[in-house]
């Protein structure tokens, strides 16, 4: 066991995974060597890429026991493709597969049977909901490896995550394998998360319910990466793929937090021409965007870019010329999908472009401000977004640790209590994002600044914002709820939280029943 | 003691634990934890106990904590007062207050409880809610019925129903009633707080009504949602010119005091008691809005 830079015990080696490198600090790892290289292949003139069935594709690309296959989650909770592929593998009697999805959702509950029957024996990827829950119960022999969006792209490019076959759900594909996500009945917008898979997997299969003539336009993933195309009835349920237009929350508590976060941004001095901004689609985040939009309009500020998961709200800000460009790795709603088609300043970006720390420069490095959530934050500002207060693995990392490391100002917005559970604690159950990359915590009961950010503290002291010590926030929460019981764990490690640079920042253990 | 500002009095349902827990964080000058209209008859006992425990555990810091009990004429009012007063709220809002006797009854009960819990007599204040024809008729006596009475509240909805008036957003039907309540409050030297503005989606309407009642002289307003705090506070925030003038008035008074001069003048105009008190009120509002740090 080694103790890493955030004080967590990391085993030197794990069976089925190999040697582990403990986390040293957010910017300590310097990569060496060469990138991974996929097989060279050729396509002869006249050969068709379109196959009649998924089964045929699986046979053609030669999926065998023990291989690693990957998927994207741009179809979110409406995805049919993961289940479709695993059902077919199961029918073919293939076992011992590692799946490397960019994320799994509650909609993927049906694949639990393939985990129990041994078709799937390991997961490298985000697990949201039921799959995380069974992982926490210890169903896998090999721990789930959790990576951020940038970290996953890095792992694929560096060869840490070699992919044998990438199965790409394609809202539109032409007969020669060019793909886009913006058209077709299952349109999802950007396909940013799967670009590295397409480029580095040995074999790539596009699965589409909208097969069109050659060539399709626009092209997100070009023919040069795609081996085969399979037409199926439906790749997903549109209701689960894109949400309707998200409304700004009406919850006064969340609105208060958002307003304060916007005031912190205003006081930070970063909200000026050229300003770049990212926020999620959650209630508080969207309400922060509402305030930022108001301030930008009031002072005629034009930002450089808005990034990340793009919502109708950001589209509106682009159209109002409050941002020059949107960098879209994932389109959350139908307005974002439409804008991606029509607006040349709305750009699709890959996960590597977005957040990979080991390329020649990623977008988060140019980000001024990121608004993030937390399931827990501790008095060292370490944030947990993976495990719930009962210790169960229920969420992926997303771009949390990437944007926190890249942005000039990282703001965590959260109510101090959720239900009866305090969010500020002595030690988070799981460290997802290290405190050294978190600058401010904004709650309804006060704003805590990371003591490392003396400059920011000085600026905020000039405002009337309620500044508090993070320890006092913790005490205030515990005064109302009592000290929460800490969940009990078995020894078995069921998950590894990989920092974006490939080191291990924390391990997740099996929950004791 | 510095006079309390009562620009906003935020109603909080007494049966909603989350809202009770968070009542103090939105910046209202007062919160009114409600056991009356917000709580159905089946829930009266549970809400009372919930509120008792909340008052024991939650620190509302500088916010004035007021509890609206049920009318003393109902089976719940006495029990509410008995249980809640022991937790030392800043004040009790007395709904359906119609007579001097209503106030005096509450006063007597409070005196007894204060004695029991060794609290200085008169610590817990009273805020009669005037919301009926009879209440309006007796409002002058009600305002002066006890030393505990620190503010009169107006309940426009119940009042218009009682009198048979049509309730409009414009509020012409309430003009003389509001004036009467205000007058009664001023005669007694206490605050007057206006009724709620019921449509939380109509910020413009809220702003208009608040401007109007401020113009009449009201100290503030009862509100039903945190989103109403900011617009109301903004209206009660004096302009820069008003603040500057008020500061000069106070400075002139201080200077005259230092010189032991009896007559105080500023820009050739005499500063009398009303001018001085207006200046102090403006500076109190300015301080609450964070525009100045000391008065």
Where are chain B's structural domains? 8-235, 240-288
List all residues of chain B from 34 to 53 with a beta carbon under 8 Å from chain A.
none
Q: Where are the domains of chain A?
A: 47-124+161-241, 252-488
The rounded distance, in Å, linking the Cα atoms of B178 and B215 is 12
ipTM score: 0.83
| Residue A138 burial (CB count, 10 A) | 15
Tens place of pLDDT per residue across chain B (295 aa): 457 899 999 999 999 999 999 999 999 999 999 999 999 999 999 999 999 999 998 999 999 999 999 999 999 999 999 999 999 999 999 999 999 999 999 999 999 999 999 999 999 999 999 999 999 999 999 999 999 999 999 999 999 999 999 988 888 899 999 999 999 999 999 999 999 999 999 999 999 999 999 999 999 999 999 999 999 999 998 888 999 999 999 988 888 888 887 778 888 888 888 888 889 888 888 888 878 877 6
The rounded distance, in Å, linking the Cα atoms of B53 and B47 is 10
Task: Examine the pLDDT at A123 and tell me if it is beyond 60.
Answer: yes
Look at residue B226 in the predicted model and tell me its pLDDT: 96
Residue of higher predicted confidence among B294 and A491: A491
In degrees and rounded to multiples of 5, residue A101 shows phi and psi of -80, 150
Q: Distances from the Cα of A305 to the Cαs of A296, A321, A367, B50, B290, in angstroms?
A: 13, 10, 8, 49, 34
What is the H or E stretch that residue A446 is in? strand A446-449
Binary contact (B57, A480; C-beta < 8 A):
yes
Look at residue B1 in the predicted model and tell me its pLDDT: 43
CB A58 within 8 A of CB A88: yes
CA neighbor of A192 nearest in space, from A328, A355, A38: A328
Look at residue A245 in the predicted model and tell me its pLDDT: 61
Binary contact (A256, B225; C-beta < 8 A):
no
Look at residue B2 in the predicted model and tell me its pLDDT: 53
Tell me the average pLDDT across A213-218.
98
CA neighbor of A308 nearest in space, from A328, A292, A293, A290: A328
- Kindly report each contact of residues B168-174 with a partner whose C-beta sits within 8 Å and lies 24 or more positions away, as own/partner: B169/B199, B169/B202, B169/B205, B169/B209, B171/B209, B171/B212
Give the distance from residue B57's alpha carbon to the nearest chain A alpha carbon, in angstroms. Answer: 7
A179-193 pLDDT tens trace: 999 999 999 999 999
| Residue A254 burial (CB count, 10 A) | 22
The rounded distance, in Å, linking the Cα atoms of A41 and A440 is 50
CB B116 within 8 A of CB B155: no
A470-490 pLDDT tens trace: 999 999 999 988 998 899 999
Q: Which architecture does CATH list for A47-124+161-241?
A: 3-Layer(aba) Sandwich (3.40)
Q: Is B248 on the interface with A (CB under 8 A)?
A: no
A54-76 pLDDT tens trace: 999 999 999 999 999 999 999 99
CB B92 within 8 A of CB B124: yes
Look at residue A297 in the predicted model and tell me its pLDDT: 97
**Least confident among A253-262, A279-288, B176-185:** A279-288
CB A116 within 8 A of CB A90: no
Instruction: Collect all residues with Cβ–Cβ distance below 8 Å to A505 and sequence separation of at least 6.
Output: A4, A6, A8, A23, A401, A431, A432, A434, A497, A498, A499
Give the distance from residue A444's alpha carbon to the nearest chain B alpha carbon, in angstroms. Answer: 7
Both ends of chain A: CA-CA distance in Å?
A: 25
CB B283 within 8 A of CB B275: no
The rounded distance, in Å, linking the Cα atoms of A295 and A301 is 8
Give the closest of B22, B58, B290 to A444, CB-based.
B22
Give the distance from residue B229's alpha carbon to the nearest chain A alpha carbon, in angstroms. Answer: 11
Look at residue A244 in the predicted model and tell me its pLDDT: 66
Give one DSSP letter per residue of A156-220, joined into a string.
HHHTSS--SEEEEEESEEETTS-EESSSSTT--S--GGGHHHHHHSSEEEEEES-EEPSSPSS-S
Look at residue A462 in the predicted model and tell me its pLDDT: 94
Counting every residue written for chain B, the total comes to: 295
Torsion of CA B70, B74, B80, B81, to 10 degrees: 90
Binary contact (B58, A480; C-beta < 8 A):
yes
Tell me the average pLDDT across A248-256.
89
| Residue B49 burial (CB count, 10 A) | 11
Nearest CA in chain A to B58: A480
Res. A351 pLDDT band, cuts 50 70 90:
very high
Average pLDDT, chain A: 96
CATH fourth-level superfamily of B8-235: Phosphoenolpyruvate-binding domains (3.20.20.60)
Which of the residues A247, A248, A252, A442 would you substitute to probe the B interface, choosing the one with the greatest number of B C-beta atoms within 10 Å? A252
Q: For chain B, percent helix, then strand, then coil, each to nearest 5? A: 50, 15, 35
Binary contact (B59, A479; C-beta < 8 A):
yes
Domain A252-488 = CATH 3.40.1080.10: yes
CA neighbor of A148 nearest in space, from A373, A305, A355: A355
């Amino acid at each position: 066991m080694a103790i890493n830079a955030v004080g967590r015990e990391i085993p030197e080696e794990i069976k089925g995974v190999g040697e582990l490198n403990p986390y040293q600090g957010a910017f300590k790892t310097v990569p060496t060597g060469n990138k991974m290289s996929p097989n060279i292949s050729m396509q002869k003139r006249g050969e068709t890429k379109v196959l009649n069935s998924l089964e045929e594709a699986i046979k053609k690309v030669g999926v065998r026991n023990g291989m690693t296959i990957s998927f994207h989650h741009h179809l979110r909770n409406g995805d049919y493709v993961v289940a479709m592929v695993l059902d077919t593998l199961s029918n073919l009697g293939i076992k011992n597969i590692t799946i490397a999805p960019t994320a799994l959702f509650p909609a993927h509950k049906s694949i639990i049977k393939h985990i129990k029957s041994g078709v799937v024996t390991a997961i490298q990827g985000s697990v949201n909901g039921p799959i995380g829950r069974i992982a926490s119960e210890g169903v896998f022999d090999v721990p789930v490896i959790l990576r951020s969006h940038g970290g996953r792209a890095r792992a694929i490019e560096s060869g840490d995550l070699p992919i044998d076959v990438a199965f790409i759900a394609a809202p539109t594909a032409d007969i020669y394998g060019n793909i886009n996500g913006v058209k077709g009945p299952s349109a999802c917008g950007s396909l940013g998360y799967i670009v590295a898979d397409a480029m580095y997997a040995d074999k790539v299969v596009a699965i589409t319910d909208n097969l069109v003539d050659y060539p399709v336009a626009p092209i997100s993933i070009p023919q040069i990466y795609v081996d085969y195309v399979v037409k199926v009835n439906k790749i997903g349920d549109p209701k689960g793929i894109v949400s309707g237009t998200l409304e700004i929350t009406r919850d006064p508590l969340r609105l208060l937090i958002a307003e304060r976060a916007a005031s912190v941004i205003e006081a930070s001095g970063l909200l000026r021409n050229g300003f770049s901004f990212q926020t999620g689609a959650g209630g508080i985040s969207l309400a922060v965007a509402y305030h930022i939009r108001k301030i930008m309009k009031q002072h005629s500020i034009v930002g450089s870019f808005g990034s990340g998961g793009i919502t109708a709200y950001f589209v509106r800000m682009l159209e109002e010329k409050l941002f020059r460009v949107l960098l879209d790795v994932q389109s959350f709603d139908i307005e974002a999908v439409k804008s991606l088609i029509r607006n040349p300043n709305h750009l699709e970006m890959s996960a590597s472009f977005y957040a990979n720390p080991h390329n020649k420069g990623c977008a988060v490095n140019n980000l001024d401000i990121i608004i993030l959530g937390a399931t827990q934050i501790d008095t060292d500002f370490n944030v947990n977004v993976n495990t719930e207060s009962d210790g169960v693995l229920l969420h992926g990392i997303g771009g949390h640790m990437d944007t926190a490391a890249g942005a000039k100002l990282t703001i965590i917005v959260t109510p101090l209590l959720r239900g009866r559970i305090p969010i500020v604690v002595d030690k988070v159950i799981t460290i997802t994002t290290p405190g050294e990359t978190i600058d401010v915590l904004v709650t309804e009961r006060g704003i805590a600044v990371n003591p490392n950010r003396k400059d920011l503290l000085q600026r905020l002291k000039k405002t009337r914002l309620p500044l508090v010590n993070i320890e006092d926030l913790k005490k205030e929460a515990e005064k109302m709820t009592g000290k929460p019981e800490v969940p009990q764990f078995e020894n078995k490690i069921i998950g590894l939280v990989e920092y974006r640079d490939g080191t291990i920042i924390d391990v997740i253990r099996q929950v004791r029943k | 003691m510095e006079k309390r500002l009562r620009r906003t009095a935020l109603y909080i349902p007494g049966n909603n634990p989350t809202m009770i827990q968070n009542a103090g964080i939105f910046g209202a000058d007062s919160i009114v934890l409600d056991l009356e209209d917000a709580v159905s008859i089946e829930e009266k006992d549970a809400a009372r106990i919930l509120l008792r425990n909340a008052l024991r555990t939650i620190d509302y810091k500088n916010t004035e904590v007021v509890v609206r009990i049920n009318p003393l004429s109902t089976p719940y009012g006495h029990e509410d007062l008995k249980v809640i007063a022991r937790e030392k709220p800043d004040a009790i809002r007395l709904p359906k207050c119609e007579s001097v006797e209503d106030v005096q009854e509450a006063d007597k009960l409070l005196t007894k409880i204060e004695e029991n819990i060794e609290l200085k007599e008169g610590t817990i204040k009273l805020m009669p809610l005037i919301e009926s024809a009879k209440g309006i008729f007796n409002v002058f006596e009600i305002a002066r019925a006890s030393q505990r009475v620190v503010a009169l509240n107006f309940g426009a909805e119940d009042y218009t129903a009682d009198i048979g008036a049509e309730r409009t957003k414009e509020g012409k039907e309430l003009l003389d009633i509001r004036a009467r309540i205000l007058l009664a409050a001023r005669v007694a030297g206490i605050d007057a707080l206006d009724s709620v503005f019921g449509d939380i989606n109509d910020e413009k309407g809220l702003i208009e009504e608040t401007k109007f009642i401020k113009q009449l002289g009201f100290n503030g307003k009862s509100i039903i949602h945190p989103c109403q705090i900011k617009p109301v506070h903004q209206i009660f925030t004096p302009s820069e010119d008003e603040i500057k003038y008020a500061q000069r008035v106070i400075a002139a008074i201080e200077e005259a005091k230092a010189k032991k001069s009896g007559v105080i003048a500023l820009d050739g105009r005499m500063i009398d008691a009303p001018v001085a008190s207006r200046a102090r009120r403006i500076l109190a509002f300015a301080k609450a809005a964070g525009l100045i740090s000391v008065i």
